[in-house]
Copies of this chain bind each other. A is one copy, B any other.
Amino acid sequence: MSRPADGGRQEGKAYLSTIDRSLVQALPLFAKMAPEALDDVLRRAASFRYPVGQAVFEQGQLAEHFVVLLHGRLRVTQVTPEGQQVVVRVVNPGDLFGIAKALRRSDYPGTATAVVESIVLAWPMGIWSDLLEQHPALAVNAMQTMGSRLLEAQQRIREMSTEEVERRVAHTVLRLANQAGRKDTGGVRIDFPISKQDIAELTGTTLHTVSRILSAWESAGLVEGGRQKLLIRDPHQLLLIGDGLRPGLL
């Protein structure tokens, strides 16, 4: 969303001058909005395309836009001062993100990177308050977005506080399946490339431990792995592991 001074990175380009209402009216974010209101909101948006690996915005950058993901998938990461990376969350189509204003920040707290080719709608951050005040339904919906994220964050905290790694990995995988699962032959497939490292950073463990756990699950027929691939064969058993009801497989 920026024009970095270093110029090294190619920004996504606007590819639609007007955005059609039909593209977005089904999104929960725009629920209960009158067609004219929706048109007003869309008129102020620009659309951008990002190829795999490109950042929509980066941690620490001045937050110039807030964004809705139309198509694709993003991974939001944060890097600690010591250089350790954490995956904050996965952005799914329809999600609102980059709303630094709502967090009373002027910069982005994390980096959002396209893990598959992605298309976003972006608005200048300056009109955030205006838009909310002019479209109360939008404010309510945006708040629910934040609410879901808060609940998910608290769930992760609870898990990290009380559960051992194998259970946490089970919960992480199940959450991914809920957010980005697609029925496939013999199971539910995570619909975008996800590495063991990603899963580790979502769970608060190491790549090595995730690999060992998934290997064990694969031997037991619960999942099927692969390079940046994950197919869940038996979600129910995974649920049992997550609830600590199944003897660990390690």
Q: Which residues of B lie under 8 Å from residue A105 when comparing CB positions?
A: 151
Q: Which residues of B lie under 8 Å from residue A88 when comparing CB positions?
A: 154, 157
A133 in the interface, Cβ–Cβ < 8 Å? yes
For A104, the closest partner residue in chain B by CB is: B144
Binding site secondary structure of chain A: helix
Q: Distance in Å from the Cβ of A204 to the closest Cβ of chain B?
A: 4
Q: Which residues of B lie under 8 Å from residue A162 when comparing CB positions?
A: 80, 82, 84, 86
For A28, the closest partner residue in chain B by CB is: B104
Q: Distance in Å from the Cβ of A1 to the closest Cβ of chain B?
A: 19
Q: Which residues of B lie under 8 Å from residue A140 when comparing CB positions?
A: 129, 132-133, 139
For A205, the closest partner residue in chain B by CB is: B161
Q: Which residues of B lie under 8 Å from residue A129 when comparing CB positions?
A: 140
Q: Which residues of B lie under 8 Å from residue A201 when comparing CB positions?
A: 161
Give per-residue flags for A135-162: 1 if the beta carbon is below 8 A from chain B beta carbons, else 0. 0100110111011111101101110111
- Contact check, B151 vs A103: say whether CB atoms are below 8 A apart: yes
- Contact check, A158 vs B86: say whether CB atoms are below 8 A apart: yes
A93 in the interface, Cβ–Cβ < 8 Å? no
- Contact check, A109 vs B154: say whether CB atoms are below 8 A apart: yes
A111 in the interface, Cβ–Cβ < 8 Å? no
Given A149-B150, A162-B80: A204 and B144 within 8 A (CB)? no
Contact partner, A132, options B139, B149, B157, Cβ 8 Å: B139
A78 in the interface, Cβ–Cβ < 8 Å? yes
Q: Distance in Å from the Cβ of A87 to the closest Cβ of chain B?
A: 9
Contact partner, A146, options B78, B80, B136, B147, Cβ 8 Å: B147
A-B contacts, 18 of them at CB < 8 A, read A78-B154, A78-B158, A80-B162, A84-B162, A86-B158, A86-B161, A86-B162, A102-B144, A103-B147, A103-B150, A104-B144, A104-B147, A104-B148, A132-B139, A133-B139, A136-B139, A143-B143, A157-B160
A-B CB proximity, top 4 nearest:
A153-B153, A103-B147, A161-B204, A133-B136
Task: Known A-B contacts: A82-B244, A88-B154, A160-B161. Give 17 more (CB < 8 A).
Answer: A84-B161, A86-B161, A86-B162, A99-B147, A104-B144, A104-B148, A105-B151, A109-B151, A109-B154, A132-B143, A133-B136, A136-B136, A136-B139, A139-B140, A153-B153, A160-B204, A161-B204
